[in-house]
């Protein structure tokens, strides 16, 4: 049996507390036309401190059952809520030689201003520059680098995740006013979200870094096909925006200043109530918890509305099927069929995306895979999803084609649709349930006996999965 850890903490203040006691800021006006919606935690749209308090407290209350961990994972876990409504999870592993910090902010490229596409990505880069407390540029990156650790971050459609890895976290007392590395790192890290400087001397440097990331993958087949897909979907849906950004979409000009836009974006969207931090280290849980409380409680709490990005369908209303060809730069041959479905992230407990892939990848005689492989049409089939917006997703069935399959792409397409039609009429509920149970058991058996995750992987998984799973399942691998 897996080990189950029971430990939560709810520090939400009583409902008779006045709003003047809460560190709520409204933020400066931003050039952004919208802010992003959140998931389960947005059961109510917070317009005052009481609603914020009640919505977040309800989500914590739903998360009080034990956290399921691998058999040999003897670490102690605790989750709770700071006075500014930031969620936190701390993980204690005495004797470990590694530590980690991960922070998820519930805002991503869907919140980009229409005339500043890539702003969320640029903000991710610029936050790391420096802070009012630690004004030296790249203090955090240089600090962890000297210790053999690292910093990283990424921006997706509706979230931004920051990562820090620290080696030998108990050492360093003689260097940092008697504080061990992890405590000092938390202080530096938190300062970036309390008062970032967005130093104008380095904003341009980070704009070039954003562009370099774009240019590095500009000819990548997946990236090119994805770009074409977003040209044909509903242009009023935020997925159609250029989320990664480059030096052109983020260029300064008359009345245009990236530093101001990034600063306004941060002030409008980076609210403590939209954050979840996880910290893994060798110190006891009470010590880690105290450090988080001391450092992260001063992050601003914003009072703001959460728009619904799912008001527009992914495909335009009345749109007919379209066939689009993309020239390959590496002689690869792929055929991808895209369908609008419900958002798969709202069905993580049953994994419909995995079930569909399992059915389509079945290689037994009579399956779609075997039929097309026997005709020398395909090398592989995989299923992917894009553009989850809380209500809808794009489901893609990707077929890696052989030369004959490329020549016969029309017949390949007809065969796939015929098979989907057949399965929709004949696929039994018991077959689907058996497929799901089989994959779930195999995956979890591997996970439960495969040993504990590293400090960084644990920290990242805890914050990434917090919007998708019940508390008990935060560390369980996807099916």
Q: Exposed, middle or buried by CB within 10 Å (0-12, 13-18, 19+), for 338?
A: buried
* Terminal Cα distance for the chain, rounded: 19
Note whether 295 and 338 are same-domain residues: no
- Catalogue the E-assigned strands of 110-242: 150-155, 160-167
SS3 391: coil
Domain-located, residue 315? no
Taking alpha carbons only, the member of 104, 102, 103, 97 closest to residue 180 is: 97
Q: Exposed, middle or buried by CB within 10 Å (0-12, 13-18, 19+), for 6?
A: exposed
Note whether 41 and 111 are same-domain residues: yes
Angle, helices 181-194 vs 139-146, to 10°: value is 160
| Cα–Cα distance measured from residue 447 to residue 314, given in angstroms and rounded to the nearest whole number | 35
Note whether 274 and 346 are same-domain residues: no
Query: Using CA of residue 358, residue 362, residue 368, residue 374, what is the dihedral sign?
Result: positive
Domain-located, residue 478? no
Note whether 276 and 355 are same-domain residues: no
Q: What is the pLDDT of residue 431?
A: 77
Domain-located, residue 124? yes
Domain-located, residue 325? no
Note whether 273 and 147 are same-domain residues: yes
Taking alpha carbons only, the member of 304, 83, 85, 270 closest to residue 159 is: 270
Please report, in tens digits, the pLDDT of each residue of the chain (479 residues total).
344 343 444 443 333 333 333 333 333 333 333 333 333 333 333 334 444 444 444 344 333 345 666 555 668 888 899 999 999 999 998 888 899 999 999 999 999 998 999 999 999 999 999 999 999 999 999 999 988 899 999 999 999 999 999 987 766 666 777 888 899 999 999 999 999 999 999 999 999 999 999 888 877 777 788 888 888 888 888 888 888 999 999 999 888 899 999 999 999 999 999 999 999 999 999 999 999 999 999 999 998 776 677 788 888 888 878 888 887 777 889 999 998 888 877 776 667 777 888 888 888 888 999 999 999 999 999 988 887 787 888 889 999 999 999 999 999 999 999 999 988 888 787 877 777 777 666 665 555 555 678 899 999 998 988 766 555 555 555 54
Note whether 215 and 346 are same-domain residues: no
Please report, to the nearest 10 degrees, the dihedral formed by the alpha carbons of residues 86, 278, 108, 215 taken in order.
150
Q: What is the CATH number of the domain that holds 411?
A: 3.30.830.10
Contact predicate 166/182, CB 8 Å: yes
Note whether 216 and 294 are same-domain residues: yes
| Cα–Cα distance measured from residue 45 to residue 116, given in angstroms and rounded to the nearest whole number | 26
The structural domain count of the chain equals 2
Q: Taking the CB of residue 10, how many other CB atoms lie within 10 A of it?
A: 13
Going by C-beta distance under 8 Å and a sequence separation of 6 or more, which residues neighbour residue 420?
none
Note whether 243 and 292 are same-domain residues: yes
How many CA atoms, within 13 angstroms, populate the side-chain half-sphere of residue 362?
A: 17
How many CA atoms, within 13 angstroms, populate the side-chain half-sphere of residue 186?
A: 28
Q: What is the pLDDT of residue 471?
A: 53
Q: What is the pLDDT of residue 2?
A: 42
Domain-located, residue 322? no
Taking alpha carbons only, the member of 259, 376, 413, 241 closest to residue 312 is: 241
Taking alpha carbons only, the member of 82, 39, 66 closest to residue 292 is: 82
Q: Exposed, middle or buried by CB within 10 Å (0-12, 13-18, 19+), for 146?
A: exposed
Note whether 460 and 400 are same-domain residues: no
Domain-located, residue 479? no
Note whether 379 and 288 are same-domain residues: no
Note whether 78 and 35 are same-domain residues: yes
Question: 448: left (phi > 0), else alpha (psi -120 to 50), else beta?
Answer: alpha
Angle, helices 429-449 vs 352-360, to 10°: value is 100
What residues pair up with 67 in beta bridges, in sequence order?
5
Note whether 192 and 305 are same-domain residues: yes
What residues pair up with 164 in beta bridges, in sequence order?
101, 151
Domain-located, residue 327? no
| Cα–Cα distance measured from residue 213 to residue 197, given in angstroms and rounded to the nearest whole number | 23
Going by C-beta distance under 8 Å and a sequence separation of 6 or more, which residues neighbour residue 378?
369, 372, 399, 400, 401, 402, 405, 412
Domain-located, residue 320? no
Q: Which domain does 341 fall in, by range?
A: 334-449
């Amino acid at each position: 049996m897996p080990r189950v850890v029971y430990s939560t903490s709810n520090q939400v203040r009583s409902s008779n507390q006045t709003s003047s006691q809460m560190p709520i800021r409204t933020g400066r006006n931003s050039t952004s036309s919208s802010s992003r919606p959140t998931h389960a935690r947005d059961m109510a749209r917070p317009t005052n401190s009481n609603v914020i308090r009640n919505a977040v407290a309800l989500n914590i209350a739903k998360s009080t059952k034990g956290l399921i961990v691998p058999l040999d994972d003897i670490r102690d876990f605790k989750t709770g809520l700071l006075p500014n409504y930031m969620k936190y999870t701390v993980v204690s592993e005495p004797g470990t030689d590694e530590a980690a910090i991960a922070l998820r902010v519930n805002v991503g490229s869907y919140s980009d201003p229409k005339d500043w596409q890539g702003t969320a990505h640029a903000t991710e880069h610029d936050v790391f520059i420096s802070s009012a407390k630690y004004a030296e540029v790249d203090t955090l990156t240089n600090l962890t680098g000297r210790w053999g650790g690292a910093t990283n971050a990424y921006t997706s459609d509706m979230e931004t995740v920051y990562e820090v890895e620290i080696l030998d976290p108990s050492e360093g007392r003689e260097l940092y006013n008697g504080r061990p590395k992890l405590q000092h790192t938390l202080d530096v890290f938190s300062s970036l979200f309390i008062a970032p400087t967005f130093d104008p001397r380095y904003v341009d440097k980070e704009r070039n870094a954003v562009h370099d990331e774009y240019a590095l993958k500009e000819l990548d087949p997946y990236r090119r096909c994805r770009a074409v897909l977003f040209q044909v979907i509903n242009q009023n849906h935020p997925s159609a925006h250029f989320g990664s950004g480059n030096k052109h979409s983020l260029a300064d000009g008359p009345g245009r200043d990236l530093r101001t836009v990034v600063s306004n974006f941060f002030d409008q969207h980076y609210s403590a109530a939209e954050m979840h931090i996880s910290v893994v280290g060798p110190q006891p849980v009470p010590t880690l918890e105290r450090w988080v409380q001391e450092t992260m409680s001063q992050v601003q709490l914003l009072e703001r509305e959460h728009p619904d990005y799912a008001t527009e369908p992914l495909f335009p209303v009345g749109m007919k099927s379209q066939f689009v060809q993309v020239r390959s730069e590496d002689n690869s041959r792929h055929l991808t069929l895209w369908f609008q479905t419900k958002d798969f992230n709202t069905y993580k407990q049953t994994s419909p995306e995995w079930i569909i892939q399992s059915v389509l990848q079945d290689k037994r005689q009579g399956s779609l895979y075997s039929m097309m492989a026997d005709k020398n049409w395909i090398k592989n089939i995989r299923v992917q999803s894009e553009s989850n917006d809380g209500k809808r997703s794009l489901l893609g069935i990707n077929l890696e084609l052989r030369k004959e399959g490329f020549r016969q792409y029309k017949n390949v397409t007809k065969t796939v649709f015929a098979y989907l039609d057949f399965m929709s009429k004949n696929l039994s509920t018991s077959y689907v349930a058996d497929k799901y149970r089989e994959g779930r058991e195999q995956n979890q058996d591997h996970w439960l006996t495969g040993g504990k995750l590293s400090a960084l992987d644990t920290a990242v998984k805890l914050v990434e999965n917090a919007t998708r799973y019940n508390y008990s399942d935060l560390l369980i691998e996807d099916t």
